[in-house]
Structure 1
Amino acid sequence: MIVNDNRTRSELSKFRNEYRVAVYLRLSKEDESIGQSISIENQRNILIQYILSQGWTCYQVYIDDGYSGLRFDRPGFLRLLGDIESKKINLVITKDLSRLGRDYIVTGYYLERYFPEKNIRYIALSDGIDTSAPGSVSDIGPFKSLLNDMYAKDISMKIRFVFDEKRKRGQFIGAFAPYGYLKDPDNKNKLIVDPYASAIVKRMYNLYINDNSMGAIAKILNEENIPSPIAYKETFCNYKNKRTDRRLWNQGMVKNVFTNPTYLGHMAQKRSEKINYKTKKMKSYKQSEWIIVENTHEPIIEQEQYNLVQKLIDKKTVLYGRKSGAKHLLNGLVYCKECGSKLTYKQVNGKHKMNCMTYLRHGKNYCCSHYIDEETLDSFIVEELRKISLKALPNDFYKQFGSLEKKEKADMYSVELVQLEKRRMEIQTFMKKLYEDKVNKIITNDTFITLINDYIKEKENVNTRYEQMKKLQQVLNSNNQDSDNYEKVLTDIIQFQVPDKTILTQLIERIEIDKERNVFIHYNFKNPLPEE
């Protein structure tokens, strides 16, 4: 199409030699489905032919292939703007206005403000838009921009619908598989287990159940140089992240692993989504709004283990470590009876005491002091449970409690022992392979020494953990008791000098402390003892 120009021949001849033309070509992935008519090569041929027919000079061709018209941070477009600022060009031409952009507001800004202020003539060839022709832009430009914007919105809605339909069928549509899984090479919409990362996921669950906080788990993984999900993707996938702080594990990454039903073998998607088609900002959905399809792939975590971790998270039992390495036994279970806030720990005269968070943060106008000695409260709670045990067990009271919701410790120890043994064998294989690579001169001697030392250190850690788990397993086996109900739990409390945090979390719903330091224990079962 030839754009009409009402200027005289002498005026046209004068300007023809002065124009340095920028040809801008764009094609999005959505446009590719429409066909050859707007392909990059087709756009180039049409525009170059038009430029030659006008006797103009093509300064450069700028291309953005595979970029949405809603984005204006496209590489080719940014180079175009840079050359405009450097006054290297004075005419920009596209096949149509939608190639420039599909956002009504931003496209209008370039069309009506930026180009005129920079003395840039703009032509959208097939739309008949030419900023040098009076009325060309004001008559049709805004209308075309609005139509392009509406088109982009329509395409976005259709894409979201297609994605949701795939999600509902249990097809994975993410660019990268969740940590612990890989995309099936034969079916990109299916997940398969990643042997390395899945072992890390299992270990994380075991660490949390065995009284390690999310922060402590992140620290352990970082100290052992285990790549975070971001770093892992950068190593093995075509993925880049500019934020350097994302290279290391943090509490948020750990929690994401603990709250993702995908590890149960259920496809959990649409956990977050872009707010709309014009922005990159994301909004998170509640778990009740996720699209979850059950039994779509091999699970990494068992249901009982997952349920226990969710229960611990719901109680927010963050385990703050002391210098001695001990844990706060009742953290996350103790509340202020007056205002309902949790009690937190504070060191007073060398001892840990608990007090109302509202009082500590806002003062006596909002609540009152509830200082209570941690050791005193711990001892009181454990003694109360021992009294219940003595009362309950002889009378077969445990049957009223029902079965435990958690996988028994002995079973979990066995699972971790199997994993540790498997890792020992893997390390041995890797060390052997490293030696062979060194002999065959595939790797240098320095590389060999560095890698072999890392594996030796990991092997020592695995062996130490293995021996610890064996001892714990022996202690549990020596009890020779039924582990399918609360009788096992209560008996453990009597036998253990240091009660287990996981057991207490399941026995106790909450503990309340009033301003007189009276203690009210709310159990997850019916208390057989008379209330005092």
Structure 2
Amino acid sequence: MNSKKNNTDIIRCAIYTRKSSEEGLDSEFNSLDAQRESAESFIASQKSAGWVCLPEQYNDGGFSGGNVERPGLKRLIADIEADKIDCVVVYKVDRLSRSLMDFARMMETFEQHDISFVSVTQQFNTTHSMGRLTLNILLSFAQFEREIIGERIRDKIAAQRRKGKWAGGTPVLGYDVDRSGGSPKLIVNQSEAIHVRQIYELYLELGSLLPVVDELKTLDLPNKTWHTRRGKPKGGKPFGKCRLHSLLTNPIYVGEVKHKADVFDGEHEPIVDADIFADVQTQLKANGRTPAGQVRNKHNALIRGLLFCKHCNSAMVHTFTNKRNRRYRYYRCAQLIKQGRTSCPTPSLPATEIERAVVDEIQMIAQDEDLQAEVFNRAKALLEEDQKGTTRSIANLSRQLSKDHNELQRLSESPDPSNAIATCIAGLNERIHQNKTELNRLKRKSTEQTERSIEMDEVVTALNDFDQLWDALRPREQQRVLALLVSRIEFDASDNSIKIDFIDTRPTSNVPNQSLAPC
């Protein structure tokens, strides 16, 4: 770097300070003040060389040196580019950056604008090659130290989780963080715990995420509201599908803590019954969340996963093409896609036509008496399962009420009542009241389910009017109906026909379909 400055010039010096954590920043004289005082003293010692300390302060309190996303640093770079600075002074090299790559980029910016860089405690001059070499060596050690600290923090968190301790992070609905002891602990927030149990019960009752999201909006139940150590409010946002799914799958509610793929017994009190939690996980798994490795059916391919090519016994994959702002859907043999056109004689099939042919055949089979009896039995089984779910919820809620009444009696008989006990009694009374209300609602629902019945003639009527029933279903529901009825659909290119195998001993159907012209 060829300096344009000489000893008679005024050298405008900017002081940059940084501290990784926010701890102690609100004190009268903090670490940033100490760094600046040392830098000001060094600049004053160079007064004879024309060094002048600029009044602007470039401070970053509570920001890591591992990246450049820091407001103070951004203002410093902006002023450098505006030619307001001649020299940057820091207390120590790693105050500017702990990343060798980021620091190298900043040094390039300094060189482009003829900026000198000085560290108060590691004196060297970046105008010389030896100074730049020394700087890179020091920075390499600073980056190594940062990586070692990161490894130690990760190891500490893993050890805390293995012991079942709260290792920090965003507070969750149902718990507060008690920092009065040596290490932070989770304590139950009684009023929020009621809401958590209500959310679990709602999911078991409604069966899917979106209806629960809508119900929580109606009930005006938001997510956890909390404050940072500096008093800044956080959270309190309405539930969406992702937030709700995170709550329903969090093992913390059954007294466990998770670290990566491992789950350990926690030292905090559970607020959700283990049976309810297990029922929710089963329902989530069965409710169509896409398994790992499986592609979402976002184009509503009705018979995807059911249609196979008879010639090579390969699945026929759903695909599409866009022409003149219009989308055309097809089913194409996977063997043909992998190995080329000569590998299989089965042509691409127009998706709409073959899906319609399958639905038409199901409509004809729907008149079969055996199928009607089977649909009736399945519908009856689903109704019975729904009744069992309500009965389980009533039993779980009754157990919780019994526990709460026993705890309330124990606290009421305490010989030395305190404010903490009074708070617990108030929370228990509120929870008992809300759980009684929920129990009455479930009992009414159970009565309605008992009185509700499904008759064979209702099933027959619905299947006889299959077209109207089918058109009333959403695409995803139509796919589920097909998955319940059909085990395999096979296309034979030799005679342009489809063969449908039904589940549970349903008759096999062969459907000639000359309208399925190759694409």
Name the TM tier (shorter chain): 0.5 to 0.7
Give the TM-score normalised by the residue count of structure 2.
Answer: 0.60
**1:161-180 paired onto structure 2 within 5 Å:** 161-180=155-174
Given residue 278 of structure 2, which amino acid in structure 1 is its aligned partner?
A: N
Find the aligned partners of 1:375 and 1:469 in 2 and give their Cα distance.
Answer: 39
Does the aligned pair in 2 maintain the 1:170–1:292 contact within 8 Å?
no
**1:50-199 paired onto structure 2 within 5 Å:** 50-55=42-47, 56-60=51-55, 61-111=57-107, 113-131=108-126, 133-187=127-181, 189-199=184-194
Find the aligned partners of 1:374 and 1:96 in 2 and give their Cα distance.
Answer: 82
**1:226-265 paired onto structure 2 within 5 Å:** 226-229=221-224, 232-233=225-226, 238=232, 240=234, 247-265=237-255
Q: Does 1:303 align with 2:284?
A: no
Given residue 269 of structure 2, which amino acid in structure 1 is its aligned partner?
A: E
Find the aligned partners of 2:175 and 2:142 in 1 and give their Cα distance.
Answer: 39
Q: Does 1:514 align with 2:488?
A: yes
Does the aligned pair in 2 maintain the 1:167–1:291 contact within 8 Å?
no
Find the aligned partners of 1:62 and 1:381 in 2 and give their Cα distance.
Answer: 77
Q: Structure 1's 223 and 476: CA in aligned 2 closer, same or farther, altered over 3 A?
A: closer
Offset of 1:381 from its aligned partner? 7.3
List per-residue Cα deviations over 1:264-314 (Å, max 9, x = no partner).
1112244xxxxxxxxxxxxxxxxxxx3422152222222222222212222
Given residue 101 of structure 2, which amino acid in structure 1 is its aligned partner?
A: I
**1:334-349 paired onto structure 2 within 5 Å:** 336-338=305-307
Does the aligned pair in 1 maintain the 2:228–2:234 contact within 8 Å?
no
Offset of 1:214 from its aligned partner? 0.4
Does the aligned pair in 2 maintain the 1:180–1:198 contact within 8 Å?
yes
Find the aligned partners of 1:511 and 1:314 in 2 and give their Cα distance.
Answer: 21
Q: Structure 1's 364 and 47: CA in aligned 2 closer, same or farther, altered over 3 A?
A: closer
Find the aligned partners of 1:412 and 1:316 in 2 and give their Cα distance.
Answer: 19
Find the aligned partners of 2:158 and 2:368 in 1 and give their Cα distance.
Answer: 50
Find the aligned partners of 2:368 and 2:133 in 1 and give their Cα distance.
Answer: 79
Given residue 38 of structure 2, which amino acid in structure 1 is its aligned partner?
A: I
Task: Find 1:207's aligned residue among 198, 202, 216.
Answer: 202
Find the aligned partners of 1:47 and 1:235 in 2 and give their Cα distance.
Answer: 32
Find the aligned partners of 1:376 and 1:530 in 2 and give their Cα distance.
Answer: 11
Does the aligned pair in 2 maintain the 1:20–1:88 contact within 8 Å?
yes
Instruction: Give the equivalent residue in structure 2 for 1:412.
Output: 393
Q: Structure 1's 79 and 176: CA in aligned 2 closer, same or farther, altered over 3 A?
A: same
Given residue 167 of structure 1, which amino acid in structure 2 is its aligned partner?
A: R
Find the aligned partners of 2:226 and 2:369 in 1 and give their Cα distance.
Answer: 47
Does the aligned pair in 1 maintain the 2:365–2:371 contact within 8 Å?
no
Does the aligned pair in 2 maintain the 1:26–1:99 contact within 8 Å?
yes
Q: Structure 1's 415 and 357: CA in aligned 2 closer, same or farther, altered over 3 A?
A: farther
Q: Does 1:473 align with 2:473?
A: no
Instruction: Give the equivalent residue in structure 1 for 2:257.
Output: 267
Does the aligned pair in 2 maintain the 1:389–1:494 contact within 8 Å?
no
Offset of 1:419 from its aligned partner? 9.3
Find the aligned partners of 1:357 and 1:239 in 2 and give their Cα distance.
Answer: 50
Q: Structure 1's 46 and 227: CA in aligned 2 closer, same or farther, altered over 3 A?
A: same
Does the aligned pair in 1 maintain the 2:158–2:259 contact within 8 Å?
no
List per-residue Cα deviations over 1:218-252 (Å, max 9, x = no partner).
122123332134xx3479973558xxxx9332111
Q: Does 1:365 align with 2:332?
A: yes
Find the aligned partners of 1:380 and 1:108 in 2 and give their Cα distance.
Answer: 77
Given residue 159 of structure 2, which amino acid in structure 1 is its aligned partner?
A: E
Instruction: Give the equivalent residue in structure 2 for 1:347.
Output: none
* Secondary structure of residue in 1 paired with 2:207: coil
Given residue 202 of structure 1, which amino acid in structure 2 is its aligned partner?
A: R
Q: Structure 1's 126 and 25: CA in aligned 2 closer, same or farther, altered over 3 A?
A: same
Given residue 266 of structure 1, which amino acid in structure 2 is its aligned partner?
A: E
List per-residue Cα deviations over 1:439-475 (Å, max 9, x = no partner).
xxxxxxxxxxxxxxxxxxxx9xx97x77653322335
Find the aligned partners of 2:228 and 2:364 in 1 and give their Cα distance.
Answer: 46
Q: Structure 1's 174 and 114: CA in aligned 2 closer, same or farther, altered over 3 A?
A: same
Offset of 1:407 from its aligned partner? 7.4
Q: Structure 1's 388 and 365: CA in aligned 2 closer, same or farther, altered over 3 A?
A: closer
Q: Structure 1's 384 and 78: CA in aligned 2 closer, same or farther, altered over 3 A?
A: same
Q: Where in structure 2 are there 5+ consecutive unaligned residues?
A: 25-29, 290-302, 310-315, 321-327, 334-348, 402-432, 460-482, 490-498, 509-519
Q: Does 1:22 align with 2:22?
A: no
Does the aligned pair in 2 maintain the 1:27–1:40 contact within 8 Å?
yes
* Secondary structure of residue in 2 paired with 1:48: helix
Q: Structure 1's 510 and 171: CA in aligned 2 closer, same or farther, altered over 3 A?
A: farther
Two-structure CA RMSD over aligned residues (Å): 4.8
Offset of 1:255 from its aligned partner? 1.1
Find the aligned partners of 1:137 and 1:409 in 2 and give their Cα distance.
Answer: 75
Instruction: Give the equivalent residue in structure 2 for 1:526.
Output: none
**1:480-499 paired onto structure 2 within 5 Å:** none
Count of residues paired in the alignment: 379
* Percent identity over paired residues: 21
Instruction: Give the equivalent residue in structure 2 for 1:447.
Output: none
Does the aligned pair in 1 maintain the 2:22–2:61 contact within 8 Å?
no
Offset of 1:40 from its aligned partner? 3.6
Q: Structure 1's 377 and 412: CA in aligned 2 closer, same or farther, altered over 3 A?
A: farther
Find the aligned partners of 2:96 and 2:75 in 1 and give their Cα distance.
Answer: 14
Given residue 239 of structure 2, which amino acid in structure 1 is its aligned partner?
A: W
Given residue 469 of structure 1, which amino acid in structure 2 is its aligned partner?
A: L
